[in-house]
Amino acid sequence: MSRSDAGAEAATPETGALRMAHLLGSQACMDSLRKDLTDLQGTIVDVFSRAGPVRFPSWKFPDHVACDLDMVALLEHYDHVPGDPEFTQLSHAVLLELVIDRLLLLLQSCASYLETLSSEQTVPPARAVGPCMSVGLTVRCFWNSLLKLGMLYQQMLPQKRAAQGETPICKPTAKGEPTRSPEFVTAKFIKPPSPIPGLPQTCKEPGSLSVRVSLHSPARTTESTRSVPSQTVETALVPCDACASVQGSLREVGRALIGLCQSQNLPSSLGHFQQLVQDTMGLKPLPAATVGHWAAEQSRDLARLSKHVGALAQLVGPLRAQLEEAEAQKGGLREQVGQLEQALQQEQRQRRWQANEAQQQLAQWEQDKQQLLAETSELKRKVAALERELKQQQESTQAVEAKAQQLQEEAERRLEAERQVQQLEEQVQLLAGRLDGASQQIGAVLQPTYLP
């Protein structure tokens, strides 16, 4: 067998499946998946801070909303267990499915963010739970949103260039997309993230300034070019005591806000984000982006609480009017209560009299009952005596009936004997008659013989 044949045989799907089965349950692969899930969740939180949480059913757990999944608890549960290979392999498969679930949620949230940019909304609208979406449908929706934003950008690009007095260097391409000079990059058209409510707007976003960055010659400037100082990673300030104090206060306020949301039975966006930050960074100082995300989630909770308080105020207003009306009716109700108390006392007296009457009737009924019981006992004794007498009479009657039966049988026997005697007498008479006739015949025969 040649080397190419051996390589082809080694690259078959069967060998790839065997290799994947061999890696199933590997701790290194599972650690890599857990790190990927943590990064994906951080990116999703970043998108949520700009576009708001999207509410779609989870791909892995369709009966739950994807943004409400407790990833910390899932990562703690589905972990590598050295003594249980079956559970470890199951955890590996679940982690792979969670990666797919987070990728779909990321695409859905990015699509929502693109729609927010296309509609130029500063505050993301409240969303209900969307339908279950497959992988292909989610990717298609994301691509359609991206195409829509691209078309909107192409339509607005000439207007913005005309407003800035900018002349295109090259003609548009065949597809209608303008070709830009490689020397300059315009940062004006990059839409900044939505402003975070509650934060001081003392510093503008860098993307809101019309800045040109030279790619070839840093010293080259024009009339519309201005240099803007910026802070780099090398010149970033180290955390100071003021930052630590502010972040500590921010954490305390966040905990109080989360507790307030829980006491009002409201969902807390900051609660999930705080748990994620605590699991990933602990008590370390937070970077600026994370603080911004924290403030955004806190602002959402504050808006939710404000809406809840407004709803409560709308409920309290009519209740207060009803309370005032009830206070006005309080005097009349007191008079009614007095009348009702008098009626109640009269009713109670009537009930007591009726109770006394009932007790007397009950005592009379009890006496009658005892008398009836005594009479019943006497009647029972009489009935027992009568039953004994009846039994004796029945026995006498039976003896008489037996005697009568015996006499009847004897009479029948006598009657039968009399009939037999009568028959015998008739036979005797018949025989006597015959004997007389025979005697006469014999005499008649013998008489001539004795005559001389």
Q: Are residues 262 and 385 in the same domain?
A: no
Q: Of 140, 169, 198, which residue constitutes the final position of a domain? A: 169
Question: Cα–Cα distance between 67 and 297 in angstroms, integer?
Answer: 14
Domain ranges, residue 262: 244-313
Residue 136 C-beta-side C-alpha neighbours within 13 Å? 0
Question: Could you say which DSSP state residue 212 is in?
Answer: B
* Total-model pTM: 0.36
Predicted local confidence at residue 374, as pLDDT: 93
Evaluate whether residue 57 is within a structural domain: yes
Kindly state the tokens that stand for 21.
Answer: 């089965």
Q: Are residues 28 and 90 in the same domain?
A: yes
Question: Cα–Cα distance between 153 and 148 in angstroms, integer?
Answer: 9
Q: Of 169, 197, 227, which residue constitutes the final position of a domain? A: 169
DSSP 338-401: HHHHHHHHHHHHHHHHHHHHHHHHHHHHHHHHHHHHHHHHHHHHHHHHHHHHHHHHHHHHHHHH
Helices (H), 282-329: 288-328
Question: Could you say which DSSP state residue 190 is in?
Answer: S
Q: Are residues 103 and 60 in the same domain?
A: yes
Q: Are residues 110 and 44 in the same domain?
A: yes
Q: Are residues 97 and 37 in the same domain?
A: yes
Q: Are residues 286 and 146 in the same domain?
A: no
Domain count, the chain: 3
Predicted local confidence at residue 368, as pLDDT: 93
Phi, psi of 318 (to 5 degrees): -60, -35
Evaluate whether residue 324 is within a structural domain: no
Q: Are residues 302 and 362 in the same domain?
A: no
Amino acid (1-letter code) at residue 117: L
**Which of 115, 120, 96, 100 shows the shortest CA–CA distance to 23?**
96
- E strands, 147-272, where? none
Evaluate whether residue 438 is within a structural domain: no
Distance of CA 125 to the CA centre of its chain: 27
Q: Are residues 136 and 266 in the same domain?
A: no
Evaluate whether residue 221 is within a structural domain: no
**Which of 65, 64, 67, 60 shows the shortest CA–CA distance to 45?**
67
Evaluate whether residue 301 is within a structural domain: yes
Question: Could you identify the residue written with the tokens 């791909």?
Answer: 59
Distance of CA 2 to the CA centre of its chain: 63
Question: Could you identify the residue written with the tokens 């860098």?
Answer: 206
pLDDT string in tens for the chain (452-residue length) = 444 444 444 455 555 545 565 577 788 888 889 889 988 888 888 888 777 778 889 888 888 888 888 888 888 888 888 888 888 889 899 999 999 999 988 888 888 888 877 776 555 555 667 777 888 888 888 888 888 888 888 888 888 788 876 544 444 443 444 444 333 333 333 333 333 333 333 333 333 333 333 333 333 333 343 444 344 433 334 456 677 788 888 888 888 888 888 888 888 888 888 888 877 777 777 777 778 788 888 888 888 888 888 888 888 888 888 888 888 888 888 888 889 999 999 999 999 999 999 999 999 999 999 999 999 999 999 999 999 999 999 999 999 999 999 999 999 999 999 999 999 999 999 999 889 888 888 888 877 655 55
Distances (CA, A) of 151 to 142, 169, 258, 418: 14, 21, 41, 146
Asked whether 11 and 76 are in contact (CB, 8 A), the reply is no
Distance of CA 134 to the CA centre of its chain: 24
Q: What is the largest CA-CA distance in the chain?
A: 221
Evaluate whether residue 98 is within a structural domain: yes
Question: Could you say which DSSP state residue 409 is in?
Answer: H
Q: Are residues 291 and 380 in the same domain?
A: no
Q: Are residues 344 and 250 in the same domain?
A: no
Q: Are residues 283 and 390 in the same domain?
A: no
Evaluate whether residue 448 is within a structural domain: no
Q: Are residues 309 and 258 in the same domain?
A: yes
How far the first Cα of the chain sits from its last, in Å, is 181
Evaluate whether residue 226 is within a structural domain: no
**Which of 113, 112, 115 shows the shortest CA–CA distance to 56?**
112
Asked whether 278 and 176 are in contact (CB, 8 A), the reply is no
